[in-house]
């Protein structure tokens, strides 16, 4: 049997090379810092739906309004009644509205990182001169900043309202500063935990469930155990049980160092003193550093 070898393919006479004006970039190269700032800005704006569709703005803006409305009511009551103090401490505000903060983290942390993982767009970031540490710092910083805006805005409303009500300037400013320290720690802790939970899966729904489990369910479990300990006259155990929930950790730190009234069952007897407060603070800092370390390890696995 004979075989026939195909001959070389001849180019057709219609082949053309068109010059459509592509040119090499000859502008300034802004480097890693500019790319990091751009990623931070884009992620922060994305947390509130800015630069996205109207539908994306509804939930974060609604949650921001829910956070601020109680502060406006508190201020209005104080001004009308000419009260000498606000009806709630600055350091208590975020604790009372923790559910709103938890929903914000559960909704926006997956939005910040899950899409990059799901659609495998993470390697595209490295078309720019950034490294893994730049990506993690930008995402972490943006999430913590978004949370700080959410939690500090009502405190600012309360501080301005207290001055309008002619309350003592020095006392109100001191308590306002203590409240800002508290929500700054909360923002770093909740932001880190939220991003870690969201980055474990490219599925946004799973990320939302994981964040709610880490922030909300742990608080319910810890509160139940604290109630049982108090009901069985083990008041000393209440302060140690508080180490196992993010929100009670923040509560313990501000009870010990920021002069906040305790929310734990048993009142002042169950509040952590200075020594136990140091343990609370170390656990909070360890969780913040651990969240950053887990994110760095996670993104090394996905190719950053």
pLDDT tens across 8-41, in order? Answer: 555 556 777 777 777 777 777 788 888 889 889 9
For residues 259 and 115, the model is more confident at 259
Q: Evaluate if residue 301 carries a pLDDT over 50.
A: yes
Q: Which pLDDT band holds residue 112 (cuts at 50, 70, 90)?
A: confident
pLDDT, residue 152, reads: 97
pLDDT, residue 3, reads: 47
First to last CA, the chain: 56
In the predicted model, what is the mean pLDDT of the chain? Answer: 87
Measure CA 288 to chain center.
11
Going by C-alpha positions, the residue among 156, 194, 150 that lies closest to residue 173 is: 156
User: What is the C-alpha to C-alpha distance for residues 225 and 219, in angstroms, rounded to an integer?
Assistant: 10
Q: What is the mean pLDDT of residues 227-240?
A: 88
pLDDT, residue 288, reads: 97
For residues 160 and 131, the model is more confident at 160
Lowest mean pLDDT among 28-32, 85-89, 249-253: 28-32
pLDDT, residue 9, reads: 53
pLDDT tens across 132-191, in order? Answer: 899 999 999 999 999 999 999 999 999 999 999 999 999 999 999 999 999 999 999 999
Helix (H) or strand (E) segment spanning residue 116: helix 98-118
Q: Which pLDDT band holds residue 2 (cuts at 50, 70, 90)?
A: very low
212 vs 30, 81, 206, 270, 277, CA distance in Å? Answer: 39, 39, 10, 27, 26
User: What is the C-alpha to C-alpha distance for residues 162 and 155, in angstroms, rounded to an integer?
Assistant: 10
Taking the alpha carbons of 296, 185, 148, 59 in that order, is the dihedral positive or negative? positive
The count of other CB atoms within 10 Å of the CB of residue 56 is 15
pTM of the model: 0.86
């Amino acid at each position: 049997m004979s075989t026939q070898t195909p001959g070389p393919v001849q180019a057709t006479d219609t082949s053309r090379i068109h010059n459509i004006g592509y040119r090499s970039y000859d502008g300034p190269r802004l480097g890693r810092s500019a790319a990091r700032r751009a990623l931070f800005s884009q992620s922060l704006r994305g947390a509130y739906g800015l630069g996205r569709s109207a539908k994306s703005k509804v939930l974060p803006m609604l949650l921001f309004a829910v956070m601020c409305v109680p502060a406006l009511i508190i201020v209005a009551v104080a001004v009308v009644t000419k009260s000498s103090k606000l009806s709630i401490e600055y350091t208590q505000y975020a604790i009372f509205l923790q559910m709103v903060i938890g929903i914000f983290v559960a909704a926006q942390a997956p939005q910040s990182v899950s899409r990059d993982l799901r659609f495998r767009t993470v390697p595209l970031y490295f078309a720019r001169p950034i490294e893994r540490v730049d990506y993690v710092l930008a995402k972490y910083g943006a999430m913590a900043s978004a949370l700080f805006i959410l939690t500090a805005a009502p405190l600012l409303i309360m501080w301005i309202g207290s001055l309008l009500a002619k309350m003592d300037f020095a006392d109100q400013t001191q308590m306002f500063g203590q409240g800002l320290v508290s929500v700054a720690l909360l923002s770093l802790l909740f932001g880190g935990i939220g991003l870690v939970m969201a980055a474990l899966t490219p599925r946004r729904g799973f990320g939302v469930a994981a964040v709610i489990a880490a922030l909300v369910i742990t608080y319910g479990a810890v509160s139940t155990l604290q109630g049982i300990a108090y009901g069985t006259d083990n008041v000393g155990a209440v302060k140690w049980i508080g180490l196992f929930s993010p929100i009670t950790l923040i509560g313990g730190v501000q009870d010990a160092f920021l002069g906040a009234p305790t929310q734990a069952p048993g009142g002042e007897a169950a509040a952590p003193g200075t020594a136990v407060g140091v343990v609370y603070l170390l656990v909070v800092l360890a969780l913040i550093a651990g969240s950053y370390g887990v994110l760095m390890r996670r993104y090394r696995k996905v190719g950053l």
